[in-house]
Amino acid sequence: MRAVTIPGFGGADVLRQAEVEVPEPGPGQVSIDVAYAGANFAEVLYRRGVVDVPLPFVPGIEVSGHVRAVGPDVEGLRRGQPVAALTIVDSGGYAEVAVTSADLVAPLDGLDLGLDVAAAVPSNGTTAFLVLDRVARIEPGETVLVHAAAGGVGSQLGQAARLLGAGRVAGTVGGPAKIEAARGFGYDDVVLREALPGEVAGLTGGRGFDIVVDMVGGPARRASLDALAPMGRMVVMGNASGADDVGVPANELWFTNKTVSGFNLAAFAGVAPAEAGRALRRAVAAAASGDLRVQVEELPLAQAAEAHRRIESGATTGKLVLAVRG
């Protein structure tokens, strides 16, 4: 079958199309004829060698398509069924066929959701609901700040916060060109990331935010901690800036009544696939109902390198998806 592989670590140009063996599902798994694969920053990290993966490696942490085959001990899924799925535990989505745990599959039967949009939901939508509900434990009326508000996951986090009962939802972006795009995803306020320290008081009435979600790192990490209200919670879920790690002194958390948590969807899905799957199906239902607006732009699988370059540039808004089957 056709796939895009990482034969060696490096820039986007290392990505290669290749013929690889068709994977077969094992117990508790299904294989999927992939229609679309989401393009994510996580796959950029795999390609750069930031995450240690065996080479050659087929990236791709989320897909949509139709069930190809069902392994032993799988119930509720059938051959030919339209689905969206997380392939994040072992990757493999940049290919004509991918295999994943049946727990990480969301049926699309009867839902008003195209396969192109469905491929853009599993990673970002699942993350949004788990980060806010499971990790930050959002309460009705709380204020939320999300960095990279116009990006793939940022565009869904703000909306998920609203669905979960948040009061005011603010976002930061890296440049002026993204302000209107972020507002289009339902943010009450959007500010430039570098200006955040001077904006917090005005955005929160001097109190600070109850929840801050940071996938950027670098200076944004320190600014996020400073932006928290007493009893506020910061969730760290990335380091898109590529900056050196920013330490958080435990004694400071003690004296200021603040909490810092981490979230990694791949690790979580590996140890709690059933719970990750429930969040996935919740996100898919929200997208199908229109409660979660997902903006997608399509590129062919052969242009996976271009998708990576655009993600790395920081200029994208919404989500890029790769068309695998015509």
Q: How confident is the model at residue 314 (pLDDT cuts 50, 70, 90)?
A: confident
Close Cβ partners of 167 (under 8 Å, ≥ 6 residues apart): 140, 141, 142, 143
Q: How confident is the model at residue 77 (pLDDT cuts 50, 70, 90)?
A: very high
pLDDT of residue 316 exceeding 90, the answer is no
Query: Average of pLDDT values for 260-276?
Result: 98
Q: Which has the closest alpha carbon to 58: 99, 24, 116?
A: 99
pTM of the model: 0.95
Q: How far apart are CA 153 and CA 60, in angstroms?
A: 16
Residue 158 has, within 13 A of its CA and on its CB side, a CA count of 29
Query: Average of pLDDT values for 86-100?
Result: 98
Q: How confident is the model at residue 292 (pLDDT cuts 50, 70, 90)?
A: very high
Query: Average of pLDDT values for 238-245?
Result: 91
CA 9-36-217 angle, 5° bins = 50
* Top-level class of domain 2-120+294-323: alpha beta
pLDDT (tens digit, 9 = 90+) per residue, 184-215? 999 999 999 999 999 999 999 999 999 999 99
Alpha-carbon distances, residue 8 vs 19, 45, 72, 111, 304 (angstroms): 16, 13, 34, 40, 15
Q: How far apart are CA 77 and CA 58, in angstroms?
A: 25
pLDDT (tens digit, 9 = 90+) per residue, 3-57? 999 999 999 999 999 999 999 999 999 999 999 999 999 999 999 999 989 999 9
pLDDT of residue 303 exceeding 80, the answer is yes
Mean of the per-residue pLDDT values for the chain?
Answer: 96
Q: How far apart are CA 152 and CA 41, in angstroms?
A: 9
- The domain ranges of the chain are 2-120+294-323, 124-265
CATH architecture of 124-265: 3-Layer(aba) Sandwich (3.40)
Torsion of CA 237, 240, 244, 250, to 10 degrees: -20
Q: Which has the closest alpha carbon to 279: 110, 52, 88?
A: 88
Alpha-helix residue ranges (DSSP H) falling in the chain = 41-48, 115-118, 122-129, 152-163, 179-183, 196-204, 219-227, 250-256, 265-271, 273-289, 304-313
Q: Which has the closest alpha carbon to 174: 242, 241, 125, 224?
A: 241
DSSP for 211-247 reads: EEEESS-THHHHHHHHHEEEEEEEEE---TT-PPP--
In the chain, what's the furthest Cα-to-Cα distance?
Answer: 58
Location of structure tokens 């800036």: 241
pLDDT of residue 274 exceeding 70, the answer is yes
pLDDT of residue 104 exceeding 90, the answer is yes
What is residue 319's predicted lDDT score, i.e. its pLDDT? 94
